[in-house]
Amino acid sequence: MLRLAAPLALTELGWLAMGFTDTVMVGRLPASATAIGAVSLGSTLFYTIGVFGSGTMLGMDTLVAQAYGAGKLEECHRTMWNGLYLVCALSPLLMAFLLMFLPLFPHLGLAPALVAQTVPFLKALVWSTLPLALYFVLRRYLQAMGIVAPVVFALVSANLVNVAGNWALVYGHLGLPAMGVPGSGWSTCISRTYMVIVLAIAAVYYDHKRNSGLWMASRRVELRRIQELLRLGLPAASQLLLEIGAFAFATFLIGKLGAVALAGHQIALNVASFTYMVPLGIGSAAAVRVGQAIGARDPRGAARAGWMALFFGACFMSCAGLGLFLFPQYVARIYTPQADVVRMGAALLLVAAVFQLFDGLQVVATGALRGTGNTRVPMLANLIGYWVIGLPLGAFLCFKLHWGAMGMWVGLCLALILIGSGLVIVWHRAVTHLAHGSVFSGEISV
């Protein structure tokens, strides 16, 4: 578990480092709070919609890992090909939806200066939808078969590409025009295209090295396989959409409080997202290890893999929570020297410290359950936790009781506590079914 989880956690950190780079680079522009807020709004909306298409590929964790565990390599390859076909069809629809949303920005009650920078940033970022979706397919395919080195290399090197791109496009170096905030969006787009190229080369290389029969497998469109991907992937994508959408909705509500509150929210959200990426990588490893064990008809091994992943996730997030509790202002100062933004960010980081453990538990449990083929329960948990309980409570505290951004974060904190606790209980029930050998059609009845 540790050999697989460590590089995948590093991969997730490398993925989020792109957002960190974008935020820090634009944070040195004039009107720092507005620039950071524009990146926050644009990135949040993109992830809310654009990542939905990529999230449909989470079903590959189940199908490819279980097929690999059963020694059916051709099934792995056929799933990859059909995953590529699926995202090529979905991506233009998602791009069109994102672009249709742009004319609504001036009517959302946001500051005109914020809208003026957010819209061109998002127009650039939207072109990364297809590269991002293709990257997800190739990454899930490779890691489900235990090939993680090229995934790590792609993210680490893509961050270097992104740093150079931000330096050149945001501030106008190497003879390029100074594009400001939109330049950061174009830099991210270029970096994601680069990642797809790296993983495509890796897939071909490892097929040749292992003689796994990638090009001998059927490459025709298989509607039943696509339906299976959607059956598993749509609930997983919906769960992702509900979670990201909750923070996106909170971002838009906090945006009504002004640029300082929004910038502080972006700092706290970015930091919480960084710590979240480690258990997210552990959760991906859990999905692979649990899926491979079930494919190999080893239910006890699947149970051990899930609990070990939860243990690693809980240990890391407990340490992260302690660090945020002890040093919130030092962390906030990494993003900006602006004193009022630092104070706001530090206050919200204290709330983030409280929910770290539960955030880790929920994402790792989601991965372990995905390895069994159960993607519906995490979706329902996020629906109830965020949208029925957390967001309404946060909005009430924020606007009715005038707690401001702090009230919104308290509501989100309660949601994560409930979701994390609930999904650990669901995994415990899944383990009980595993112990009795209740594995059928790649899914455990929970």
Which token pair is 27? Answer: 């944070």
In the chain, count of helices (H) and strands (E)? 16, 2
**In sequence order, what are the residues at sequence separation of 6 or more whose Cβ sits closer than 8 angstroms to the Cβ of residue 429?**
446
Q: Are 23 and 274 in contact (CB under 8 A)?
A: no
Query: What pLDDT does 279 receive?
Result: 94
Which token pair is 213? Answer: 């029969």
Q: Are 52 and 95 in contact (CB under 8 A)?
A: no
34-38, 131-135, 380-384, 415-419: the lowest-pLDDT one:
34-38
State pLDDT tens for residues 297-335: 888 899 999 999 999 999 999 999 999 999 998 998 888
Average pLDDT across the chain, whole number: 88
CA torsion sign for 334, 243, 55, 139 is positive
**Cα separation, 79 vs 210, whole angstroms:** 18
Query: What pLDDT does 437 receive?
Result: 61
**Cα separation, 154 vs 12, whole angstroms:** 11
Q: Where are the alpha helices (DSSP H) in 296-404?
A: 299-326, 328-332, 339-372, 376-382, 391-395
If residue 439 lies in a helix (H) or strand (E), which one and from where to where? strand 439-440
Share of the chain above pLDDT 70, in %: 97
**In sequence order, what are the residues at sequence separation of 6 or more whose Cβ sits closer than 8 angstroms to the Cβ of residue 316?**
275, 278, 279, 282, 360
**In sequence order, what are the residues at sequence separation of 6 or more whose Cβ sits closer than 8 angstroms to the Cβ of residue 17?**
155, 159
Give the residues across from 440 on adjacent strands.
Answer: 443
Which token pair is 311? Answer: 């243990």
**Residue appearing with tokens 């629906």:** 383
Query: What pLDDT does 285 receive?
Result: 93
Angle between helices 223-255 and 259-295 (to 10 degrees): 160
Name the nearest CA neighbour of 355 among 437, 246, 257. Answer: 246
63-77, 107-121, 158-172, 345-359: the lowest-pLDDT one:
107-121
Q: What are the angstrom distances between the C-alpha of 44 and each of 38, 51, 80, 297, 433?
A: 10, 10, 28, 41, 38
Which token pair is 177? Answer: 């025009």
Checking 76-79 for CB contacts under 8 A at 24+ apart, the result is 76/141, 76/144, 76/145, 76/212, 77/212, 77/213, 77/214, 77/217, 78/217, 78/218, 78/219, 78/222, 78/225, 79/141, 79/225, 79/229
Q: Are 293 and 66 in contact (CB under 8 A)?
A: no
If residue 440 lies in a helix (H) or strand (E), which one and from where to where? strand 439-440
**In sequence order, what are the residues at sequence separation of 6 or more whose Cβ sits closer than 8 angstroms to the Cβ of residue 396?**
407, 411
Length of the chain, in residues: 446
**Cα separation, 142 vs 134, whole angstroms:** 12
- Mean pLDDT confidence for 333-339: 83
State pLDDT tens for residues 139-157: 999 999 989 999 999 988 9
63-67, 267-271, 370-374: the lowest-pLDDT one:
267-271
The Cα angle at residue 232 between residues 429 and 133, in degrees rounded to 5: 130
Q: Are 169 and 184 in contact (CB under 8 A)?
A: yes
- Mean pLDDT confidence for 121-125: 88
- Mean pLDDT confidence for 175-186: 83
Which token pair is 192? Answer: 């994601």
Q: What does pTM read for this prediction?
A: 0.82
Q: Are 381 and 372 in contact (CB under 8 A)?
A: no
113-117, 130-134, 162-166: the lowest-pLDDT one:
113-117
Name the nearest CA neighbour of 123 among 177, 41, 198, 186. Answer: 186
Which token pair is 179? Answer: 């594009």
- Give the SS3 label for residue 214: coil
Instruction: Tell me phi and psi for residue 257, to 5 degrees.
Output: -85, -10
